[in-house]
Structure 1
């Protein structure tokens, strides 16, 4: 599997820092989808017993491990050095889980604050009717 240099340049130009998590996450999903390894962000991988392992189970585990390693490398390469240090020994699924906890609440608060500013009237009060009139709902 060779990583598409053009797509990875998107992540290199927009390394993950605190304020750009949502943009970085969307770009990451694009790159991982192009590499056919997006699924590692959404699943924790197959559980394999050491005893009665079939060939299919072993192959599925090996494929997931390789894909997870590739996704983890792509993710780490597109992060700030501080975030790289925090996540260097973690798999892709766990990294995304942790980053969502770190940044999504902050992003929701920022979106709320922006929405609040957009829907306030000149006196600082929320004015639903004037907002609706602006978009032609009333």
Structure 2
């Protein structure tokens, strides 16, 4: 079944039939729309609710293209966040609380992108 749904994403968009088209063309178009909706539902069901809201108005081919682009961006974003985290230093007159909140925020953002900081980073080596 999944292969059938992948075909829906990979094949080109089926144009909407005109009034002059025969019933076979119209039924093929209706079948395409049903397959498209099934594919979209399956894709959305596999996402977090936040991603679902972002993609609910897209068709499956646009969702896949956007997610591929997001994957590339997330690596760049993850690099930028980790660079900011590891290069951060507390200024002499700065408040410690605000600095800690900033560090926690960076770590949470990294975890959302799939990069979890391990315990080894928090322990000093002898």
TM-score w.r.t. the length of structure 2 is 0.52
**Residues of 2 paired with 1:102 and 1:91: CA distance?**
16
CA contact (8 A) 2:17 2:25 kept: no
**Residues of 1 paired with 2:62 and 2:25: CA distance?**
22
Q: Which runs of 5+ in 1 are unaligned?
A: 1-30, 111-138
1:58–1:107 Cα change, 3 Å: farther
**Residues of 2 paired with 1:49 and 1:42: CA distance?**
20
**Residues of 2 paired with 1:67 and 1:107: CA distance?**
32
Q: Which residue of 2 is the match for residue 7 of structure 1?
A: none
1:9-88 matches, cutoff 5 A: 32-33=2-3, 36-88=4-56
Q: Which residue of 2 is the match for residue 92 of structure 1?
A: 60
**Residues of 2 paired with 1:91 and 1:40: CA distance?**
11
**Residues of 1 paired with 2:65 and 2:36: CA distance?**
14
CA contact (8 A) 1:48 1:57 kept: no
- Structure 1 residue ranges (4+ consecutive) displaced by more than 3 angstroms after TM superposition: 104-108
Bigger relative contact order (CA 8 A; separation at least 6): 1
Q: Which residue of 1 is the match for residue 87 of structure 2?
A: none
Partner SS for 1:37: helix
1:52–1:104 Cα change, 3 Å: farther
1:79–1:49 Cα change, 3 Å: same
Q: CA offsets per residue over residues 95-120 of structure 1, 9 Å max, x none? A: 11211122145469x9xxxxxxxxxx
**Residues of 2 paired with 1:57 and 1:80: CA distance?**
37
Q: How many residues align?
A: 78
